[in-house]
């Protein structure tokens, strides 16, 4: 018998009525002769509420206890959903992450799944029961509860699909699929029928909140066919898979954007005989995520390196740089806030030269200054003034024929 994994996010299980709706939807799938695993998030904004409670006790609560706290959210949903199945005349067993055999590394708040011991799940599924599993949580080797990072229930679902060799993993959410861009800000953004794992991974990493990046990574590595679809309709949604049929020869498949970016410029004395490793090792040791890096060394000017960070880590970066000025050996720093990152993503770029040139041209015509650039095989990102973010995204979306 084929197995399917269905995952429902917070808004899709926000009320008891919605939970009953989820059960009904899963029953329909089971009636097609499938073994069905349902992974759920915490109800509505529960995780945020729990974070708020902790913040009232401490500005820096112990991470282990945060995991303990946050894991309770999903536990409420699994029990209620299992009750709903029973009420509708079906058998179901709920599982916390650790009961489902999800073993993770010992990294509180952001653990990766290492392995899944599926025996108990298999036994329950083979008895013809629904298996209801709490997303976003697991247990480390020494028995601490861990969580997988915000949005991590997607990753639970995909990991279970891989471990159970499921035929597919459907992510049910409050939007009906993956869009060419965020329709709340970009005119004419539309739903994609399909997208490749690589493109989706870039978009997820670039802030398209629809899927947890690690879920996409997991799906790619294990070849799990993944679908994002609406929990409120029967529309087919967006399929994420390895190979995608080329739609209208589109070079760009999506435009992503993210506000709240800052640029840090560090200037060295001339001549610069240090190493970039000094500064970036120091930042890494302090767990600061650096995104785009641009180095400038010329005969005429003082050598410098600029990098982009999330604005909310600015104070920390400032402090870390100040504390390590001697060791890093720089002369001065400069900070620019209020920036945004806008990116275009598409597998078609690999075989089409001039995509970057065209992008800069489009931005120039809209009089948008480009402050930093970074590229990968299938992505080009630019940092622009925050006030120009929407304008840039709309201009690019339109010029690449995505509307």
Of the candidate residues 85, 98, 136, 179, the single one contacting ligand ASP (CB under 6 A)? 136
In 3-82, the DSSP E strands lie at 3-8, 35-40
- Are the CB atoms for 328 and 307 separated by under 8 Å? no
How many other C-beta atoms lie within 10 A of the C-beta of residue 150?
15
CB of 272 to ligand ASP, least distance (A): 43
According to the binding rule CB under 6 A, does residue 153 interact with ligand ASP?
Answer: yes
Q: Determine whether the annotation assigns residue 89 to a binding site.
A: no
Q: Tell me whether residue 136 or residue 197 sits nearer to Mg ion (CB atom).
A: 136
Q: State the nearest-atom distance from the C-beta of 221 to ligand ASP, in Å.
A: 20
Residues within window 8-47 making contact with Mg ion, judged by CB under 5 A: 9
Residue 112 touching ligand ASP (CB under 6 A): no
Judged by CB under 6 A, the residue of 101, 135, 303, 346 near ligand ASP is 135
152 is a site residue for ligand ASP (CB under 6 A): yes
Q: Which of 10, 237, 303, 346 binds ligand ASP (CB under 6 A)?
A: 10
Over the window 140 to 159, marking each residue x when it contacts Mg ion by CB under 5 A and - when it does not, the resulting string is -----------x--------
Strand segments, DSSP code E, in 41-196 are 92-95, 102-104, 113-116, 130-134, 137-139, 145-147, 168-173, 194-196
Decide if residue 150 touches ligand ASP (CB under 6 A): yes
Residue 64 touches which member of ligand ASP, Mg ion, none, C-beta under 5-8 Å by kind: none
| Number of Cβ atoms within 10 Å of the Cβ of 43 | 22
**10 vs 101, beta carbon nearer ligand ASP:** 10
User: Does position 135 bind Mg ion by CB under 5 A?
Assistant: no
Piece of the chain touching ligand ASP by CB under 6 A; list 24-32, 40-48, 279-287, 297-305: 40-48
Q: With respect to Mg ion, which residue has the nearer C-beta, 137 or 308?
A: 137
213 φ, ψ (degrees, to nearest 5): -55, -40
159: nearest Cα among 199, 108, 103: 103
Residues near 83 by beta carbon (within 8 Å), at least 6 away in sequence: none
Kindly tell me which of 13 and 203 has the beta carbon lying closer to ligand ASP. 13
> 42 contacts which partner out of ligand ASP, Mg ion, none, CB within 5 to 8 A by kind?
ligand ASP
% helix / strand / coil in the chain, to the nearest 5? Answer: 35, 25, 35
Least Å distance between CB 137 and ligand ASP?
A: 9
Q: CA 22 to CA 137: how far, in whole Å?
A: 21
Tokens (6 digits) for 363: 């931005």
Q: Per CB under 6 A, which region of 61-69, 146-154, 266-274, 276-284 contacts ligand ASP?
A: 146-154
Task: Return the number of the residue (149 or 260) whose C-beta is nearest ligand ASP.
Answer: 149
CA distance 228 to 126: 27
Residue 47 or residue 308: which is nearer to ligand ASP going by CB? 47
User: Which runs of E-coded beta strand occur in 9-101?
Assistant: 35-40, 92-95
Determine if residue 268 is labeled as part of a ligand binding site. no
DSSP states of 197-259: HHHHHHHHHTT-TTS-HHHHHHHHHHT--EEEEETTS----EEEES--PPSTT-S--EEEEEE
Shortest Å, Cβ 148 to ligand ASP: 7
Annotated binding residues for ATP, written as ranges, equal 7-10, 173-174, 179, 184
Annotated binding residues, written as ranges, equal 7-10, 47, 74, 173-174, 179, 184
* Residues forming the site for Mg ion (CB under 5 A): 9, 151
* Residues forming the site for ligand ASP (CB under 6 A): 9-10, 41-42, 47, 73, 135-136, 150-153
């Amino acid at each position: 018998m084929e197995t399917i994994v269905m995952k429902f996010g917070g808004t899709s299980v926000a009320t008891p009525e919605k939970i009953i709706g989820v059960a009904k939807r899963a029953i329909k799938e089971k009636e097609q002769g499938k073994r069905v695993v349902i992974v759920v998030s915490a109800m509505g904004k529960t995780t945020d509420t729990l974070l708020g409670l902790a913040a009232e006790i401490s500005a820096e609560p112990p991470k282990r206890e945060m995991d303990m706290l946050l894991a309770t959210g999903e536990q409420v949903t699994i029990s209620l959903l299992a009750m709903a199945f029973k009420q509708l005349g079906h058998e179901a067993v709920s599982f916390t992450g650790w009961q489902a055999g999800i073993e993770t590394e010992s990294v509180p708040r952001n653990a990766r799944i290492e392995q899944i011991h599926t025996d108990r799940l298999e036994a329950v599924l083979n008895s013809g029961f629904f298996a209801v599993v709490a997303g976003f949580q697991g247990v480390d080797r020494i028995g601490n509860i861990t969580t997988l990072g915000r949005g991590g229930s997607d990753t639970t679902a995909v990991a279970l699909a891989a471990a159970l060799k499921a035929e597919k993993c459907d992510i049910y959410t409050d939007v009906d699929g993956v869009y060419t861009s965020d329709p709340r800000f970009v005119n004419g953004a539309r739903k994609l029928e399909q997208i490749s794992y690589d493109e989706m991974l870039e978009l997820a990493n670039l802030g398209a909140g629809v899927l947890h990046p690690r879920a996409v990574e997991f799906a790619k590595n294990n070849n799990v066919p993944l679908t994002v679809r609406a929990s409120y309709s029967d529309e087919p949604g967006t399929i994420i898979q390895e190979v995608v049929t080329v739609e209208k020869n589109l070079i760009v498949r999506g435009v992503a954007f993210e506000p709240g970016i800052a640029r840090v410029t560090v200037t060295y004395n001339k001549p610069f005989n240090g190493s970039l490793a000094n500064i970036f090792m120091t930042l890494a040791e302090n767990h600061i995520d650096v995104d785009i890096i641009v180095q400038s060394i010329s005969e005429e000017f003082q050598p410098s390196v600029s990098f982009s960070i999330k604005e909310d880590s600015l104070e920390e970066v400032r402090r870390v740089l100040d504390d390590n000025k001697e060791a890093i050996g720089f002369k001065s720093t400069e900070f620019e806030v209020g920036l945004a990152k806008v990116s275009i993503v598409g597998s078609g770029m690999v075989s089409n030269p001039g995509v970057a040139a065209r992008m800069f041209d489009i931005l120039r015509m809209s009089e948008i200054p480009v402050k930093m650039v970074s590229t990968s095989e299938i992505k080009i990102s630019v940092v622009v003034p925050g006030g120009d973010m929407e304008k840039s995204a709309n201009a690019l979306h339109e010029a690449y024929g995505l509307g």
